[in-house]
Amino acid sequence: MTKDKTVIIVGAGFSGTLLAINLLRQPHIRVILIERDSARLARGTAYGTSRPEHLLNVRASNMSAYPDDPDHFRRWASLHAGEDQSSTRFVERATYGRYLREELAHKAQQAGNGRGWIFVGEVIAAERTGPSGFSVLLGDGTELGCDILVLAQGNLPPSDIPQFRGLDPGLYHPNPWARNWLTGLASTDHVLLLGTGLTAVDVLLSLDRAGFQGKVTALSRRGLRPQAHLEAGPHPTLVDRPPVDGAHLVSHVRRRAQDVGWHMAIDELRPHTQDLWRRLDLAGQRRFLRHLRPYWDVHRHRIAPSVAERLRQWEEASRLEFAAGKIGTVTPHRDRAIVEWRVRGQETARHVDAARIVNCTGPQGDIRTCADPLLRHLCESGAIRPDPHHLGLDVDRFGRAVNAEGEPQADLHAVGPLTRGEAWEITAVPDIRRQVWDMARALSHAQWVGGEGL
């Protein structure tokens, strides 16, 4: 008789939940899923929101949990959430969170025999129990054993910004996902957002939903904001991987954009992006991160057209400004802070008298300084190490965590945004969906490929 293998997954956001779902589809696998925040169980940060203004940034047609069943989410939304089946619809994120949670419960019930377990608690340490396997310690003293440990903590909270340390906690909010930063704002107040990406857009939408009538300045080094999806399409056909790398690839994409539009030119790269990243040497990857990453992000990770239209209305009413500059001095003044910055490309200084400041700079990647106790413990013990760019963990092509000696470990894996250094494009649903699908097959030794055998 084949002995069941126990897999502990730390983190029940999208990555961890979807890995659990896929593992429960396989025989002889026992899954223990651990999440510190019960409100985010099987939802995570992105899909744990209860705010209806927060929409998916990907159309419903590409949000199935299963690569072998691309229409699964659309069918579920029609039957269980009263959503229409339009492939162009951008569904509320809360609806998608409910979808993930119900799929996890359904697969655990199907698996039966106690093969799916969920624990709410914080994992603070993990120690090896022999040549392979771990004993995992939770903050309440609970100890759990496993054959394989998978790290799926998702995006880590933003890095703190030194200039804002020491400000009153009611004024400066380092975590944009906290639930208390909206309270107490007046219609004459000015809100400063540190960052102009997708997180800043979410904060703006929450301000809009709350009826805020004041002004908002969103500030980043370049002042770039996410671009919008087209109302419909594009519908890229499968093309060969571009035969160029580095700066030549940029020229190729620009030429292609002139022929088919930039939306299509970017989307055509989707099947090849990870391979293109892996083909670059470390110096080439660093050049991309230093010079091109912000421009790639705003074109690759887009917002729904309805969201873009609402932001345009705010800008036309002179209530929203996207600004480019570098933070200078921060001076507390009564219940506000006067924040000064130098305008990008100029010697000119500007300032804003902010009643609320929200850190929207995006997730940090340096596991050596993050607040997560398990990641710090494993890093200090040498079981894991940062990737060369400090985007997350160092892993090999198969998601096996690399230890301090540079050795991949068969019993310690990572999935999702933590593996950004190896895969680069590993934050969106389609990319993570493929990653956890492959990992579930590898961990269960499934002898089939693609969608075969299901």
The whole-angstrom separation of Cα 327 and Cα 340 is 6
**Tokens coding 149:** 């440990």
The whole-angstrom separation of Cα 266 and Cα 229 is 12
The whole-angstrom separation of Cα 255 and Cα 168 is 50
The whole-angstrom separation of Cα 277 and Cα 427 is 14
User: In order along the chain (454 residues), what is the average pLDDT of each group of 10 residues?
Assistant: 83 92 90 88 62 66 82 81 56 82 88 87 94 93 96 89 88 83 86 94 89 94 90 74 75 87 87 89 92 90 89 95 95 92 92 94 86 94 96 95 96 96 88 91 68 38
- pLDDT tens digit sequence for 232-241: 766 777 778 8
* Edge-to-edge strand ranges of the sheet holding 123-128: 123-128, 134-138, 143-146
* Edge-to-edge strand ranges of the sheet holding 148-151: 116-120, 29-35, 5-10, 148-151, 408-414, 400-402
pLDDT at 337: 94
The whole-angstrom separation of Cα 159 and Cα 256 is 36
Instruction: Name the pTM for this structure.
Output: 0.88
The answer to whether residues 156 and 73 touch, using CB atoms and an 8 Å cutoff, is no
The answer to whether residues 450 and 186 touch, using CB atoms and an 8 Å cutoff, is no
pLDDT at 449: 42
pLDDT at 88: 52
- pLDDT tens digit sequence for 326-378: 999 999 988 899 999 999 989 899 999 999 999 999 888 888 888 899 999 99
pLDDT at 183: 82
- Please state the three-class secondary structure of 90-103 as a single string: CCEHHHHHHHHHHH
Return the half-sphere exposure (C-beta side, CA atoms, 13 A cut-off) of residue 54: 21
Domains and their CATH numbers in the chain: 5-157+364-444 (3.50.50.60), 162-227+303-359 (3.50.50.60), 246-300 (no CATH)
